[in-house]
Amino acid sequence: MAGLEDLYREIILDHYRSPRNRGELPVPPAVMAEGHNPLCGDEITVYLDVDGGPDDGVVRDVKVAGQGCSISQSSASMMSQAVIGKTVPEVRALVRRFKGLMSIEDADGAGDGDAAAVPGATGDDPHPLGDLEALQGVVKFPVRIKCATLAWNTLVQALDQEAPASGG
């Protein structure tokens, strides 16, 4: 298991040292959402460009800006790679799956931390979590879960802003 933990650590450090999709997008047509973790000072800004409406739109582009610890910044980098090209419902499902990996329940009870309840955690999902699985070790350190989920919560804020302006 130590070899797997070393691999996960390397993936996290790679995304921290060489973050993907850093920068900004013009607002509009993109929407911007800001997230902040007051416990450790992490700050994330997500710029989201969706082509289409809230039910059938596709994430055309996403950029992330901000500063913070290696967990928050690498999670934002991995998130940005994972959502480009996906439909809005696929992105929302991915957020639920990631929060499940982090042992967080959402409003409809999904994501209770049970690996069998998290698609992809047992290999049954055609879209595995990939690099995102490197963050599963964060659950051993509950205070760091907020760091790992900050970008994801900020992405949901951006999606919720996008919904009324459908046609993005």
User: In terms of C-beta density within 10 A (0-12 exposed, 13-18 middle, 19 or more buried), how is residue 107 classed?
Assistant: exposed
Q: Which domain holds residue 97?
A: 2-162
Tell me if 167 is assigned to some domain: no
* pLDDT tens column, 64-120: 999 999 999 999 999 999 999 999 999 999 999 999 999 876 555 444 343 333 334
Using an 8 Å Cβ cutoff, are 28 and 69 in contact?
no
* Entry pTM: 0.83
Nearest to 120, CA basis, from 150, 146, 144, 100: 100
From residue 65, how far is each of 46, 101, 111, 151, 167 by CA, in Å? 7, 24, 27, 10, 24
Instruction: Provide the β-strand partners of residue 61.
Output: 49
Q: List the CATH number of the domain containing 26.
A: 3.90.1010.10
* pLDDT tens column, 129-166: 778 888 988 888 888 999 999 999 999 999 999 765 44
Tell me if 168 is assigned to some domain: no
Structure tokens at 75: 């999670």
**What is the number of structural domains in the chain?**
1
Tell me if 12 is assigned to some domain: yes
Using an 8 Å Cβ cutoff, are 100 and 117 in contact?
yes
